[in-house]
Amino acid sequence: MFTSIMVCLDMFGCPNRCKHCWIGHSPNGNLTNDDLRFVAEKFRPFTNSLTVYDWYREPDYKDGYKERWNLCQSLSNTHEQHFELISVWRIVRDKEYAKWLSSLGLKKAQLTLFGGPEKTDSYTGRKNAYSEIVQAIEILLENEISPRIQVFVNKDTIDELPCIESLLQSLHLEERCKSFGGEFSFFLHQGSCDGENEKLYDIRVTPEDLEKIPQKLVEYTLKHFNETKIENVFGKTEQALYEELIHDHSTASYVSETPVFYIDKDFSVYPNITAPAPAWFLGNLKTEGIETILKNYTESKSVAQAMRLTVPLCDIVASQGDCQSQRLFDKGDYIDYLTNKYCRK
């Protein structure tokens, strides 16, 4: 028995194709409520604390989202709050959506920008994404939900930051959130380096890029992460991490008593560690069954789990790292990046 299990079924996918998406791109599905019930009942015997979600890409994307929310609640032993992630696509098309989010007690909602209109549309993978995000901000404020804006930066987008600073100033977000007792928040970072974002490795920020960040955006970001230096947010250079980890002979188990599993539209199951990819495949719920899947997980039989359990980290670093790279990484993100590369070699 597991202490808890969370299962996330990708029922409908996502309207976007974001270039930064750590989950990666895959075709959208069209699953049914019975499919969701099927998944829940397969995992239920293995924990007394089951949490069920009908998405792991874009929440509330398709019609019937209210009914699916209630269904997820009924299938779960826990009663979760709505994530501070919302569907921008829906909020500008469905006048009831923001009201419903507010009725659930949502106080903050996260939105993602990459710069001005052209960059944001390009990186979101959808025309009019920028204008819809600006509309979404207004709709959230009308419903007394504070926007939390995140910005992903790389060498292609960092020069767009003054445009974002100007947008924030023009919208008077701090004052408007305070007017209903809320708090505006903002942060920027480079993101992890898996899924689609791994393809942007070549343009990851390096230390000199941090000097281009407007001071106000630095202040917002430090407050969000409770840090004192922007360098702490962006991590160390790959060179520094290489020099540290090349001496690390440890291995690692990814088995947890509180696992989260991603199930795609074809019922393939992956642990929520990094992007759902072949190296992390645990089995198919329809064809191999839950017992095989959980055995593969607990015995570290996926390619990636088995590799990390047996190959010293220093060997992974020596094989896949760049000892001269100045690209900035969080340490955990860097290890995941090297792990995924090593599994594909």
Cβ(43)–Cβ(67) under 8 Å? no
Cβ(330)–Cβ(192) under 8 Å? yes
Domain ranges of the chain: 82-234
Check: pTM over 0.85? Answer yes or no: yes
Phi, psi of 28 (to 5 degrees): -70, 150
- Percent of the chain scored above 90 by pLDDT? 98
**Whether pLDDT at 80 is above 90:** no
Distance CA 317, CA 247 (A): 9
pLDDT, average across residues 60-74: 97
Question: In the prediction, which pLDDT does 79 show?
Answer: 85
Distance CA 113, CA 111 (A): 7
Question: In the prediction, which pLDDT does 166 show?
Answer: 97
| Partners of 189 in beta bridges | 152
**Whether pLDDT at 280 is above 90:** yes
Cβ(161)–Cβ(124) under 8 Å? no
**Whether pLDDT at 61 is above 90:** yes
pLDDT, average across residues 303-315: 98
As a whole number, the mean pLDDT across the chain is: 97
Class of domain 82-234: alpha beta
Question: In the prediction, which pLDDT does 345 show?
Answer: 85
**Whether pLDDT at 81 is above 90:** no
Alpha-carbon torsion angle 194, 197, 200, 204, nearest 10: -80
